[in-house]
Amino acid sequence: MVTYRTVGRTGIQVSNLCFGTMSFGGIADKEASRALYLRSREKGINFFDTADIYNEGRAEEILGELIQGERNELVLTSKAGFPTGRDPNARGASRRHLLSSVEGSLRRLRTDRLEFYFIHRFDPLTPIEETLRTLDDLQRQGKILYPAVSNWAAWQIAKALGISAREGLARFELVQPMYNLVKRQAEVEILPLVQSEQLGAISYSPLGGGLLTGKYGVGKRPPSGRLVEQPNYTKRYADETNYIVADRFAAYAEERGYHPATLAVAWVLGHPGITAPIVGARNVEQLEPSLAALDVELTDEWRREITALSIDPPPATDRSEEV
């Protein structure tokens, strides 16, 4: 069952699963997107993640159409930062780009505000002060309710939190890191930062883009799917160890009578620093096992066993011999 959680130090209540719309207008056509949206709503999900770049704005347009009539019951995010065109200013976290990108997102989503607005990745060309001041202005204008950040290193987020406190600017209230059984970097610095600073965290790729669904393994690839079709994902998960873990994990889940996707999402959901994993799918059939995670409470023993199937990331300092 869905439960509702407070996002960090805000007063916003979100479902403990967020639905990610990266497939809308791409691998999920309008009809499939509608079915995914309705199934998520039926399950009690009130939290939807999107971005300006998802399928060149089509994901936002489709979501914008679907939310009409119930906008006030929803918590929406969007993002800016990845290139939306060839113009060198149509990217990054500059004042110029953020002000125009947020207008585009609001227009496509047919809404007057976004609950959370993510800087999609670190922009080494823009001073953090410029980004934070712009987000603070957008918050004062009511166009965004809270600034948020994705794919930044913990030191970059910590630096930004310090600047916000010093300058009296709205702080990042929510972070969006990648996190799954084979991509556990977030455990080292991001999630401890989240817990220490009482931030919200919604993590993406709980299934490793499909790796942890049972269809990938050593020498085992499906005829189609993101990790075989999208070069950036093929590269991201290329290390053979990932496929060894995927095999072990699928066998573990199947022995216990669960779809691997269900336990993969439940494992992320059970981390005390995570507010909600963001689940994604191309159709409702794929979505069901992820939604089923809401009805699984992993025991500490299962959690330890699942974690032990993968490789612990090295600690933040190399010195790890003392316990």
Ligand X SMILES: NC(=O)c1ccc[n+]([C@@H]2O[C@H](COP(=O)([O-])OP(=O)(O)OC[C@H]3O[C@@H](n4cnc5c(N)ncnc54)[C@H](OP(=O)(O)O)[C@@H]3O)[C@@H](O)[C@H]2O)c1
49 binds ligand X (CB under 6 A): yes
For residue 20, CA distances in Å to 12, 140, 202, 274 come to: 18, 27, 10, 16
Q: Is the dihedral of CA 246, 252, 257, 263 positive or negative?
A: negative
175 binds ligand X (CB under 6 A): no
Pairing of strands 4-6, 13-15: antiparallel
Shortest Cβ 321–ligand X spacing (Å) = 34
Shortest Cβ 51–ligand X spacing (Å) = 7
- Specify the residue, 94 or 213, whose C-beta has the smaller distance to ligand X: 213
Determine which residue in the list 40, 205, 242, 310 makes contact with ligand X, applying CB under 6 A: 205
Residue 269: how many other CB atoms lie within 10 Å: 21
Give the closest residue to 233 by CA, choosing from 22, 44, 30: 22
Q: Rule CB under 6 A: which of 274-293 touch ligand X?
A: 278-282, 286, 289-290
For residue 38, CA distances in Å to 19, 33, 59, 79, 311 come to: 11, 9, 15, 23, 37
261 binds ligand X (CB under 6 A): yes
Shortest Cβ 263–ligand X spacing (Å) = 12
Cβ proximity of 180 and 207 under 8 Å: yes
94 binds ligand X (CB under 6 A): no
Determine which residue in the list 210, 236, 268, 294 makes contact with ligand X, applying CB under 6 A: 210
- Specify the residue, 168 or 223, whose C-beta has the smaller distance to ligand X: 223
Residue 54 catalytic? Answer: yes
Determine which residue in the list 91, 143, 215, 236 makes contact with ligand X, applying CB under 6 A: 215
Residue 121: how many other CB atoms lie within 10 Å: 17
- Specify the residue, 21 or 310, whose C-beta has the smaller distance to ligand X: 21
209 binds ligand X (CB under 6 A): yes
226 binds ligand X (CB under 6 A): yes
75 binds ligand X (CB under 6 A): no
Tokens 């780009």, located at residue: 97
98 binds ligand X (CB under 6 A): no
From the list 37, 54, 204, 216, the catalytic residue is 54
Give the closest residue to 215 by CA, choosing from 267, 285, 307, 313: 285
Distance CA 84, CA 194 (A): 29
Cβ proximity of 70 and 24 under 8 Å: no
- Residues belonging to the active site: 54
- Sites of contact with ligand X (CB under 6 A): 20-23, 49, 150-151, 176, 204-210, 213, 215, 225-226, 261, 278-282, 286, 289-290
